Amino acid sequence: DQQVKQNSPSLSVQEGRISILNCDYTNSMFDYFLWYKKYPAEGPTFLISISSIKDKNEDGRFTVFLNKSAKHLSLHIVPSQPGDSAVYFCAAKGTGTASKLTFGTGTRLQVTL
Amino acid sequence: GAGVSQSPRYKVAKRGQDVALRCDPISGHVSLFWYQQALGQGPEFLTYFQNEAQLDKSGLPSDRFFAERPEGSVSTLKIQRTQQEDSAVYLCASSLANRVGETQYFGPGTRLLVL
């Protein structure tokens, strides 16, 4: 049972344009969401997060939007740069001090020149 | 400062062999996590330590998997009698504390191939 879903395995975007990566979740007990970026042969690197009490969090070129009623979040990258090419994982944590992250299967973003 | 380190980076094992994977968390980080990432999948939780206490091992796939963190710092994930389905990248992560907003920092992983 996939509790966190990233339905697009890959995405190609031109440099300078907006990249939008989507994530859906099914567990209503999730209350904290994170995006990680992963380059080949490296571990995931934390990018940005959002608490369920917010609907938007922004950090430079990266913005995460959360729609709790739809159990959907998205990561916007504006403008996209070639160095953004990587696999992006959406992850979620449960209520309280729950420890483990539940990850989606990832979306491979390629930013072309 | 130093991040999370893992060793070995690559391990090839014959089926039935025991392996031990090491994780050095960021200094001072109380929480330590192990995840397994199969090819084409996202990381999946295996187990969690707070200091030396193993508080959650619900993700360990079988009793062949064992993890320890005896002094609350370095952790070892041991897999006994390895099987081909154990082939995956094993990721270790640490965080300063176990709070909802606490970020988990990942190591580079150990890629295990069981032949």
Query: Percent of chain A, pLDDT > 90?
Result: 84
Q: What is the average per-residue pLDDT within B47-72?
A: 94
Specify the DSSP element, H or E, that contains B77: strand B75-79
- B91: which chain A residues are within 8 Å (Cβ-Cβ)? 43-44
Q: How far apart are the first and last CA of chain A?
A: 38
Residue A98 has pLDDT above 60, yes or no: no
In this structure, are residues A111 and A15 in contact, taking their beta carbons and an 8 Å threshold?
yes
Q: Please provide residue A84's backbone torsions phi and psi, each rounded to the nearest 5 degrees.
A: -80, -10
Sheet holding B19-24, edge to edge: B5-7, B19-24, B75-79, B65-68
Average pLDDT, chain A: 93
In three-state secondary structure terms, A27 is coil
Residues 6 or more apart whose Cβ sits within 8 Å of residue B104: A46, A101, B31, B33, B93, B94, B95
DSSP 8-state symbol, B102:
P
At residue B86, φ and ψ (nearest 5 deg) are -80, -10
- Give residue B35's pLDDT band: very low, low, confident or very high (50, 70, 90): very high
pLDDT at A113 over 80: yes
**From the candidates A38, A100, A107, A108, which should be mutated to test the interface with B, based on the most B CB atoms within 10 A?**
A100
Determine the Cα–Cα distance for residues A34 and A27; give it in Å rounded to an integer: 15
> What's the confidence (pLDDT) of residue B97?
79
Higher pLDDT pick, B77 / B102: B77
Specify the pLDDT at position B100. 65
Q: CB contact, 8 Å: B51 with chain A?
A: no
Residue A21 pLDDT exceeds 60: yes
The CA distance from B105 to the nearest CA of chain A, in Å, is 7
Nearest CA in chain B to A50: B101
**Which pLDDT score, from 0 to 100, does residue A47 have?**
96
